[in-house]
Amino acid sequence: MVFIRLPSAASRKTLTEAPSSDQSTPTHTVALVPAGASFLRWVAPPSDAERKQAAAATSLLDGEDYSDYGPIGTTGKTGRTFTRDVTVKKDGTKAKKAKVEDEIDYYAVLGLSKWGTDSNQKQIKTAYHRAILLYHPDKQVADPNRPADAGKPEEDPVFLAIQKGYGILTDETKRRGYDSTFDFDEEIPSGHEKGDFFKVYGPVFQRNSRFSEKKPVPQLGNADSPMEGAWGVTAFYDFWFKFESWREFSSLDEHNANEAEDREERRWMEKGNKSARAKRKKEDMQRLRTLVEKARSKDPRVKAYTIKLRLENEAAKEAKKKAREEYKAGLLNAEKAKEDAILAEKKAKEDEKKAKLKNVAATKKLFKKLRRKWTKFCESLDVDDDNVEEVVQGERDFFLFFPPIFSQEESK
């Protein structure tokens, strides 16, 4: 802290009187007071850079709260570069010339580093309003402390970066082209990593979900995630196998069509750029496909589910086999029962026929015996055998007439 001694006690009204030791003559003492901010600005005004830095670090500006936004006052150069080839004419012939461009973080330029590519349009517009309050040329012209060699306010590199960044981030097509290649890690797991599966693959899917046309994007989840359902493991892999990416690579175009000298050259440049974009798009989609295939092959939930399905399928096959065998056995039993019934019926008929034949034979035999007995009986009575029908009229009368004889013969 800086202290100053006020030169005039009367004007500053800071004179204090302290009695001397002898109490005879008053002693006047001028107090030391801290130097205020206005005095320091008067004796040592801050530089233009210091003023901007102090203003950018202030959470309240123009009555608005910008405490969540990061610092501004930078051109956003990340330190990385990329090379763009442009076609130029040299001595009447066309030639290519490499053009090295700096990679710019326009989110940092506007103080949106906290949200980055997730920044919404409201945040972008608010950040731009804040930046313009500090770096607009009208504000700079009105600044009496602006150095004479500072150049034109409209040529301020920070202001130019703010303008360009706002133009890109508020245009959906340009922003997609910028976000597609800016500060993005394309690396995917090799498939041989050791450790927790979800910690290895989860951040990779989270990182790539930014390019999805469809929202919301299902994430990998954890070991307790269900297999079925709208947010299950099966739905997750179905979504990523059919992933629709809006990522495009116009910011990496080899040729700058705006630098073409005629329409024919412009068409040639645009055709080359289109072909290169399609190639990069295809490679990126293959990269995502490889990621999903590797993740699915390593997913412990899928492995457990596969084993479960295999066991269930085997059980179902066994049940079907058993049912088929039982069905066949039933058919065989039914066929056998049918055959047995036919054979039994046939045997019953044969037995009945045999019984009838046996009864007929027994009856004939009986009558033969009776005939012989009857003949002997007739001979004993001296009765002519030819008159038998006259003597015995009918078999019934015969048995009634000769019961003792029939009973004796039958008992034998």
Domain boundaries, the chain: 3-43, 48-203+245-287, 309-411
Range with lowest mean pLDDT among 22-26, 48-52, 296-300: 22-26
Beta-carbon count within 10 A of 135 CB: 22
DSSP per residue, 347-407: HHHHHHHHHHHHHHHHHHHHHHHHHHHHHHHHHHHT--GGGHHHHS-HHHHHHHH-HHHHH
Given a contact cutoff of 8 angstroms between Cβ atoms, the answer to whether 80 and 105 are in contact is no
> Is the pLDDT at 18 greater than 50, yes or no?
no
Q: Which of 1.10.287.110, 1.10.3720.10, 2.40.70.10, 3.40.50.150 would CATH assign to domain 48-203+245-287?
A: 1.10.287.110
Tokens of 6: 């006020």
Instruction: State the sign of the Cα–Cα–Cα–Cα dihedral 345, 348, 352, 354.
Output: positive
Q: How far is CA 367 from the centre of its chain?
A: 103
Helix (H, G, I), strand (E, B) or coil at 182: coil
> Is the pLDDT at 364 greater than 50, yes or no?
yes
DSSP per residue, 261-286: SSHHHHHHHHHHHHHHHHHHHHHHHH
Given a contact cutoff of 8 angstroms between Cβ atoms, the answer to whether 206 and 249 are in contact is no
Given a contact cutoff of 8 angstroms between Cβ atoms, the answer to whether 77 and 97 are in contact is no
Q: What would the pLDDT profile of 224-239 be if each residue is shown by its tens digit?
A: 999 998 889 999 999 9
The three-state DSSP-derived secondary structure of 85-126 is EEEEEECCEEEEEEEEEEEECHHHHCCCCCCHHHCCHHHHHH
Q: Output the pLDDT for position 141.
A: 57
Given a contact cutoff of 8 angstroms between Cβ atoms, the answer to whether 162 and 132 are in contact is yes
**pTM higher than 0.85:** no
pLDDT band at 56 (very low <50, low <70, confident <90, very high): low
Burial of 174: CB neighbours in 10 Å, binned 0-12, 13-18, 19+: middle
Given a contact cutoff of 8 angstroms between Cβ atoms, the answer to whether 395 and 363 are in contact is no
Beta-carbon count within 10 A of 205 CB: 21
Helices and strands, number each (H, E), in the chain: 15, 8
Residue 250, CB-side half-sphere exposure with 13 Å CA sphere: 12
Range with lowest mean pLDDT among 130-139, 289-298, 354-363: 130-139
Helix (H, G, I), strand (E, B) or coil at 223: coil
Q: What would the pLDDT profile of 306-358 be if each residue is shown by its tens digit?
A: 999 999 999 999 999 999 999 999 988 988 888 889 998 998 999 888 888 88
Burial of 239: CB neighbours in 10 Å, binned 0-12, 13-18, 19+: middle
Q: Output the pLDDT for position 71.
A: 85
Range with lowest mean pLDDT among 39-48, 57-66, 99-108: 39-48
Given a contact cutoff of 8 angstroms between Cβ atoms, the answer to whether 377 and 405 are in contact is yes
Q: Output the pLDDT for position 14.
A: 41
Instruction: State the sign of the Cα–Cα–Cα–Cα dihedral 324, 326, 329, 331.
Output: negative
Average pLDDT over all residues of the chain? 78
Spatial CA neighbour of 170 closest among 126, 104, 219, 224: 126
